[in-house]
Chains A and B, each alone.
Chain A
């Protein structure tokens, strides 16, 4: 009954052959099917970039907004309709560069959103400039002498800000990635999965083989140990850990908003009946 075919669209996919995005797309479609979600129950929000084209390739509701701005519409939609499963899917430039401020504050807010970042350590759509996660020394047309900025560490930052679910995946480890996506989608609150994704056209440094040699699926890690999670998050080099670094739920944003509780709780804000006449008494306070 539920198959990943339900989530396929007729759109021609505008990614380069061999791009890591294909695997992530496939895994996402399988994840949705295995979680027995119907297309109309899911909302996919994205910004702009190669990764951010994904709402066109998955048959679910989609809001493909502005570069760097994938998170705020997702938060708004979550408030408006709590029956939607909201997923944000975007690139590393989109999320950590242009959208850095939203990234910080969405973590603090903790809405029930799964956030999958396609981290190819480069700007793909604009043809190969450095991204906030580019490794130092990487040469591009703009960073002609090599990247000199220290790389942004999304996992470490997310942990520091108190994110309840922090994970790293790799597009070359599809089964493992599916488990991460499932866990993120089942987690009540903001769940970050930073996904290492080779860009075959512009990132000649962090290639498929480069990642493949280094990634190491976490074993015997206790995902409630914040200190251990932080240590893992700082590991980047010969060995790059992938898996769930941290998973401890805290109260969600929605669960603390008065208008989404109590007698209101069950009915999504979007579908509530409303009659302006019932508010005429608001004037009394001014009499």
Chain B
């Protein structure tokens, strides 16, 4: 039992506002919710929409159909009518356009007109929310509370909005008393309704990141926005002149002692690779959140893709260790980004955290996070362990040199260098020292590999059908496994969050018993499948690839699986 709501309109018409209000009311009322934004790279006009999926438990991904379509303009109806089912309802404003005569599912609500009657046309969004709440059979209490909180500081706006809400509710009731019945409530108690960018921003802050320098680029800008709004907690956010400056700035800040991060997307990462290599050579801890969107070049700025795995694995000149982690689902991402900071500090290297637009712009109802689980150790050398004179790049068995901060020990200095250097940090060119330094840096790889988490196996313990995936496709794969099992198949998914060094134990163990394996990726060439082949010599049976800029729908995966088993 689930209900899918789709709200669409031109950019600037308030699609986001309707979706946000509605979502918060639903989550506060105890329903399980997942939502996703689909938007164009323009500020006004075009066609944007948000989808909400309401179920008895928080769904893992959004659904394809539209039980309730809120059409803020005619285009929304035209574009999405194919998603309507027999019992669907279409909320629209009869003063702005009319539905075709054969359309019987219409719920005419004078969005603009009622908003004006309530005090201002801008409240058309609130009118729409009232109408949807009626259709869902919810009362207005939670919505009224929310509006009171939202507009508490704006004179007169609370009353006006509540009036608008009620008018929408009552006008919709002329069509049906309650068109849908909601599923069971998921949980009592307070839950969060939060999207991927906000989770990452909050995790960074709570992980002790105190400096972010970035250049705006969708889909990672949301992280910068979040942190910029939290400067009262002692975090510095600097909009750099370009991505080159961004990564070099965080390198300087990290060298001087602050957990630092940047966030970007493919084009920005392309500019950062020289700095990435500098992090490798100077052994400076930094976290780079790389939000993928379709390329090449500027690609589809506001859409999703998993097309840059190979780029982040190989980006940067020279050979140096790095870790690559990915964002799978919201809860996991909170702790995993903390792990990224931990790995960066512990191993003194760059850590790339791979996400994508699908992850950034998906919001769900989830349990609150446990902040006590976060690591905040800095792994700096302490006075008692200090060998004098201090050498930044002292050769050690595990490849990790004692890290001190400039100014930390009076009398001692810290020298970092992008040239090949000796243990003191001074430029060298001799073959022996060069070999020693390369080996020292690469020895970290051993420790790193032991930190990598095995992929999550979901579903049947000895599956016939295995779905392999990584990153933000987690939810779709899980739901696909549920659907396959419901059809009587022995299916499982194996989903990777830590990507490099690649943890291969579980996959190597399970492969022999699998009859058909599928690698599911949001890209055109099957980059993860190639990585598996490279690392363990295993060739997946089928690749399910999607590269139209949109996230996977469960049905698409099921169709491909059924076609090939």
Find residues 70-103 in chain A having any chain B CB closer than 8 Å to their own CB: 71-81, 83-84, 101-102
Q: How far is the CA of A276 from the CA of B210 in the complex (A)?
A: 12
Quick one: which of B396-441 are within 8 Å of A by CB?
Answer: 405-419, 425-427
Asked if B238 and A61 make an inter-chain contact with CB atoms under 8 angstroms apart, the answer reads: no
Provided the pairs A43-B406, A282-B202 are in contact, do residues A53 and B192 lie with their beta carbons within 8 angstroms?
no
User: Does B253 reach chain A (CB closer than 8 Å)?
Assistant: yes
Give A44 to B7 CA distance when docked, in angstroms: 55
B208–A276 contact, CB under 8 A? yes
User: Is A249 close to B, CB under 8 A?
Assistant: no
Given contacts A48-B418, A84-B406, contact A72 B244 (CB under 8 A): yes
Stretch in B153-161, B371-379, B475-483, B515-523 with 4+ CB within 8 Å of A: B371-379
Chain B binder among A167-175, A216-224, A265-273: A265-273
Query: Which among B232, B258, B275, B415 is the interface contact of A66 at CB below 8 angstroms?
Result: B275
Give chain A nearest CB distance to B412 CB in angstroms. 6
- Interface segment, A34-42, A126-134, A202-210, A235-243? A34-42
- Chain B residue nearest to A105 in the complex (CB): B241
Contacts of A63 in B (CB 8 A): 251-252, 255, 282, 416
Asked if A259 CB lies within 8 Å of chain B CBs, one says yes
A80 touches B371 (CB 8 A): no
Distance between Cα atoms of A101 and B244 in the complex (Å): 10
Q: Which chain A positions have C-beta within 8 A of B426?
A: 9, 11, 56
Interface of A, secondary structure class, is helix
Contact (A274, B376) CB under 8 Å given A64-B419, A66-B275, A66-B278: yes
Within 8 A of B (CB), among A254-269: 257-260, 264, 268-269
Q: Mark interface residues in B215-241 (1 if CB within 8 Å of A CB, else 0).
A: 000000000000000111111101011
Inter-chain CA distance A249–B213, complex, in Å, is 26
How far, in whole Å, are A61 and B198 apart by their CA atoms in the complex?
37
A64-B419, A101-B241, A287-B192 as given contacts; A73 in contact with B371, CB under 8 Å? no
Which residue of the partner chain, among B202, B230, B260, B415, contacts A61 with CB atoms under 8 Å?
B415
Q: How far apart sit A64 and B282, CA to CA, in the bound complex (Å)?
A: 9
Task: Contact check, B245 vs A81: say whether CB atoms are below 8 A apart.
Answer: no
Q: Are A101 and B242 in contact (CB under 8 A)?
A: yes
Q: Find chain B residues with CB under 8 A from A81 CB.
A: 256-258, 405-407
Q: In the complex, which residues of chain A have a beta carbon less than 8 angstroms from the beta carbon of B251?
A: 63, 65, 72-73, 76
B231 — which chain A residues lie within 8 A by C-beta? Answer: 257-259
A280 CB contacts on chain B under 8 angstroms? 206, 368-369, 371
Contact B202 A269 (CB under 8 A): no
Q: Does A72 lie within 8 Å of B412, measured CB to CB?
A: no
Report if A65-B211 is in contact (Cβ < 8 Å); known contacts: A40-B410, A282-B206: no
B295 to chain A, nearest CB (A): 23
Known A45-B252, A77-B256, A269-B210; judge A40-B417 contact (CB<8 A).
no
**Nearest A-chain residue to B198, judged by Cβ:** A286
Contacts of A41 on B, CB cut-off 8 Å?
407
> Measured between C-beta atoms, what is the minimum distance from B124 to chain A in Å?
26
Least Cβ–Cβ distance between B82 and chain A, in angstroms: 34
The interface residues of chain B lying within 8 Å CB-to-CB of A48 are 418-419
Interface size on A, residues (CB 8 A): 59
Report if A200 contacts B (CB, 8 A): no
Residue of B192, B205, B415, B419 ringed by the most chain A CB atoms within 10 A: B415
* Residues of the B chain whose Cβ atoms lie less than 8 Å from the Cβ of A11: 426
Alpha-carbon gap, A260 to B240, bound state (A): 18
B406 touches A257 (CB 8 A): no
* B183-216 interface (Cβ within 8 A of A): 190-194, 198, 202, 205-208, 210-211, 213
Residues of chain B lying within 8 A (CB to CB) of residue A268: 257
B253–A79 touching, CB < 8 Å? yes
Q: What per-residue 1/0 map shows which CB atoms of A51-73 lie under 8 Å from chain B?
A: 00101100111111110010111
Chain B CB within 8 A of A104 CB: yes
B414: chain A residues within 8 A (beta carbon): 61-62
Known contacts A63-B416, A269-B234, A276-B206; decide if A74 and B252 are in contact (CB<8 Å). Answer: yes
Which residue in A65, A79, A282 is a CB contact (below 8 Å) of B205?
Answer: A282
Q: Which residue of A lies closest to B199 (CB)?
A: A286
In the complex, what distance in Å separates the CA atom of A109 from the CA atom of B208? 25
Task: Select A270's contact among B207, B256, B413, B425, beta carbons within 8 Å.
Answer: B256
Asked whether B248 is an interface residue with its Cβ less than 8 Å from the other chain, the reply is yes
Q: Does B249 contact A (CB under 8 A)?
A: yes
Contacts of B190 in A (CB 8 A): 287
By CB atoms of chain B within 10 A, which of A45, A72, A77 has the most? Answer: A72
Question: Is B357 in contact with chain A by the CB < 8 A criterion?
Answer: no
Across-interface contacts of B425 in A (CB, < 8 A): 62
Tell me whether B254 is interfacial, beta carbon within 8 Å. Answer: yes
B133 at the interface (CB under 8 A from A): no
**A286 vs B192: C-alpha distance when bound (angstroms):** 5
Contact of B255 among A55, A73, A274 (CB under 8 A): A73
- Centre residue among B206, B235, B412 by max chain A CB count within 10 A: B206
Is there a chain B Cβ closer than 8 Å to A279's Cβ?
Answer: yes
Bound CA–CA A276/B232 (angstroms):
15
Q: Is B502 an interface residue (CB 8 A)?
A: no
Shortest Cβ distance from A81 into B: residue: B256
Contact of B206 among A73, A269, A270, A279 (CB under 8 A): A279
With A76-B213, A269-B211: A277-B371 Cβ-Cβ less than 8 Å: yes
Over the window 1-33 of chain A, the binary record of Cβ atoms lying under 8 Å from chain B Cβ atoms (1 yes, 0 no) is: 000000001010010000000000000000000
Q: How far is the CA of A48 from the CA of B417 in the complex (A)?
A: 10
Given contacts A40-B407, A76-B213, contact A59 B413 (CB under 8 A): yes
- Name the one of A53, A72, A269, A287 contacting B427, with C-beta atoms under 8 angstroms: A53
A101 to chain B, nearest CB (A): 5
Q: Do A79 and B415 touch (CB < 8 A)?
A: no
Distance between B336 CB and nearest chain A CB, rounded to angstroms: 15
Return chain A residues, CB-CB under 8 Å to B371.
276-277, 279-280
Q: Are B241 and A80 within 8 A (Cβ)?
A: no
Contacts of B256 in A (CB 8 A): 43, 76-77, 80-81, 84, 270
| Cα separation A83 to B208 with both chains bound (whole Å) | 20
Q: Which residue of B lies closest to A263 (CB)?
A: B234
Q: Are A72 and B245 in contact (CB under 8 A)?
A: yes
- Closest Cβ–Cβ distance, residue A36 to chain B (whole Å): 14
Which residue in B248, B260, B372 is a CB contact (below 8 Å) of A69? B248
Complex Cα spacing A167 to B165, Å: 65
Q: Do A66 and B416 touch across chains, with their CB atoms under 8 A apart?
A: no
**Cα distance A9–B389 in the bound complex, in angstroms:** 13
Bound form: Cα–Cα A233–B137 in Å: 75
A237 to B371, CA, bound (A): 65
Chain B 344-380 near chain A by CB (<8 Å), digits 1 or 0: 0000000000000000000000001101101010000
Contact B207 A276 (CB under 8 A): yes
With a cutoff of 8 Å between Cβ atoms, the chain B residues found around residue A287 in the complex are: 28, 190-193, 368
> Can you report 18 residue pairs joining A to B where beta carbons are below 8 Å apart?
A40-B408, A40-B410, A40-B413, A43-B406, A62-B415, A64-B418, A66-B278, A72-B245, A78-B252, A80-B253, A105-B245, A259-B234, A260-B236, A269-B236, A269-B253, A272-B234, A277-B371, A286-B194
Residue positions of A touching B, CB distance < 8 A: 9, 11, 14, 38-41, 43, 45, 48, 53, 55-56, 59-66, 69, 71-81, 83-84, 101-102, 104-105, 257-260, 264, 268-272, 274-277, 279-280, 282-283, 286-287
State the 4 A-B residue pairs at the shortest beta-carbon distance, nearest first: A73-B252, A270-B257, A76-B252, A61-B406
What 19 new A-B contacts, CB under 8 Å, besides A59-B413, A80-B210, A276-B207?
A48-B419, A56-B417, A61-B413, A61-B415, A62-B414, A64-B419, A65-B248, A65-B252, A72-B213, A75-B252, A76-B252, A76-B260, A77-B253, A79-B238, A272-B210, A276-B208, A276-B374, A280-B368, A282-B202
